[in-house]
Amino acid sequence: MPPRALAPWLTPLKTHLTSPSATTSFTLTTIAHTTHGHAVPRARTVEFRGFFPTLSLHPSGIKSLKEQNIGLNPDIYESEMIAVTTDVRMEKVGELGSSGGVVEGMFWLAEVGEQWRVKGKGFVLGGKEGEEEREVVGRGLRLKEGGKEKEKEEGEWTWERQVDMYFANHSPAMRGTFKNPPPGTPRSQDPGNPQLKLGQKVEDLRDEVARANFRVLVIRPEEVERLDLQDPENVTRTRWTAGRDGEDWEEAELWP
Ligand SMILES: Cc1cc2nc3c(=O)[nH]c(=O)nc-3n(C[C@H](O)[C@H](O)[C@H](O)COP(=O)(O)O)c2cc1C
């Protein structure tokens, strides 16, 4: 994973998303197929979990990772890839698999009057992902200054531990939702497994049932568009398009 420059749009988007008053949920759209094979859009709200793999870990998450002998990955990588956590049993995961991973994330940042649309591909980590997912996401990582030395001092960075860290950063109640009855199935239908019920709290970061369902979805952006409505007399629309392999972003000012 050679060092690479980060995208020019990252700083403005990151600044907005990490400000205390920021909206951090966004609309994520995928493509589904009807039983007749027609492509149809599917949208839902998801929570932005930072730019992979940077995590602002909650103190209780850090405590659990240490106490349960998982530890923390050294903070040596950064990227412009968006992280989301999800349940493998939800529709979006299958939709990514059957549509080549295409996604669009849409943020309406009302506080600053900006809409950001991020088009790209989604990759799912935390199951028995193939080498391909790690390879593509890995190519999107940038080793921070002094990263190699830090890894030697603090220990090896691993994909498994990174997923553990996202799980640890959820509250016990949120971790418990990964043991809910199958999302989207009729409530009248018995889940058929007494371990699957609402309102559970999970302390064990290796809880088998919850971890079998927990996933980290990483979106690798290919085209990003910012619509800035702050000045009604001069609305601006900027589009950045990635070159081959997600680098060398080309910027274009468009009429809004
Ligand atoms: C504010 C808000 C935040 C949400 N965050 C997430 C999230 O981070 N991940 C997720 O999978 N679902 C999240 N959901 C639930 C989704 O909107 C959706 O109901 C669920 O993911 C099932 O969608 P699917 O079957 O199309 O995959 C959130 C919903 C709301 C209202």
CATH number assigned to the domain comprising residue 214: 2.30.110.10
What is the 3-class SS of the chain, one letter each residue?
A: CCCCCCCCCHHHHHHHHCCCCCCCEEEEEEEEECCCCCEEEEEEEEECCCECCCCCCCHHHHHHHHHCCCCCCCCCEECCCEEEEEECCCHHHHHHHHCCCEEEEEEEECCCCEEEEEEEEEEEECCCCCHHHHHHHHHCCEECCCHHHHHHHHCCCCHHHHHHHHHHCCCHHHHHHHHCCCCCCCCCCCCCCCCCCCCCCCCCCCCHHHHHHEEEEEEEEEEEEEEECCCCCCCEEEEEECCHHHCCCEEEEECC
pLDDT at 130 over 80: no
Q: What is the pLDDT of residues 56-78, one digit of tens each?
A: 899 999 999 999 999 999 999 99
| Apex 198 CA angle, 166 and 218, nearest 5 | 25
CB of 41 shorter than 6 A to ligand 1: no
**What pLDDT is recorded for position 97?**
92
Q: What is the pLDDT of residues 23-39, one digit of tens each?
A: 899 999 999 999 999 99
Closest C-alpha to ligand 1, atom 4: 46
Q: What range defines the domain where residue 197 resides? A: 10-254
Q: Is residue 5 part of a domain?
A: no
Q: Is residue 157 part of a domain?
A: yes
Closest to 70 in 3D by CA, of 208, 204, 213: 204
Q: Is residue 123 part of a domain?
A: yes
CB of 63 shorter than 6 A to ligand 1: no
**What pLDDT is recorded for position 104?**
98
Closest C-alpha to ligand 1, atom 13: 46
Question: How far does the centroid of ligand 1 lie from the alpha carbon of residue 174, in Å?
Answer: 12
**What pLDDT is recorded for position 3?**
62
- Helix axis angle, 59-67 to 159-168, nearest 10°: 130
Q: How many domains does the chain have?
A: 1
What would the two tokens of residue 235 be? 């609305």
Confidence of residue 131 (pLDDT cuts 50, 70, 90): confident
CB of 92 shorter than 6 A to ligand 1: yes
| CA gap 112, 99 in Å, rounded | 33
Task: Considering only residues 131 and 197, tell me which one the structure prediction assigns the higher pLDDT.
Answer: 197
Work out which ligand 1 atom sits closest to the CA atom of 86: 11
Q: Is residue 80 part of a domain?
A: yes
| Apex 185 CA angle, 190 and 122, nearest 5 | 135
| CA gap 92, 28 in Å, rounded | 9
The single residue listed with the structure tokens 């940038």 is 142
Q: Is residue 4 part of a domain?
A: no
For a mutational test of ligand 1's pocket, the pick from 27, 44, 91, 124, i.e. the residue with the most ligand atoms closer than 8 A to its C-beta, is 44
Question: How far does the centroid of ligand 1 lie from the alpha carbon of residue 48, in Å?
Answer: 11
Q: Is residue 3 part of a domain?
A: no
| Contact indicator for 105, 17 with CB cutoff of 8 Å | no
Q: Is residue 212 part of a domain?
A: yes
Q: What percent of the chain has pLDDT over 70?
A: 99
CB of 179 shorter than 6 A to ligand 1: no
Work out which ligand 1 atom sits closest to the CA atom of 45: 17
**What pLDDT is recorded for position 184?**
97
Closest C-alpha to ligand 1, atom 24: 91
Q: Is residue 91 part of a domain?
A: yes
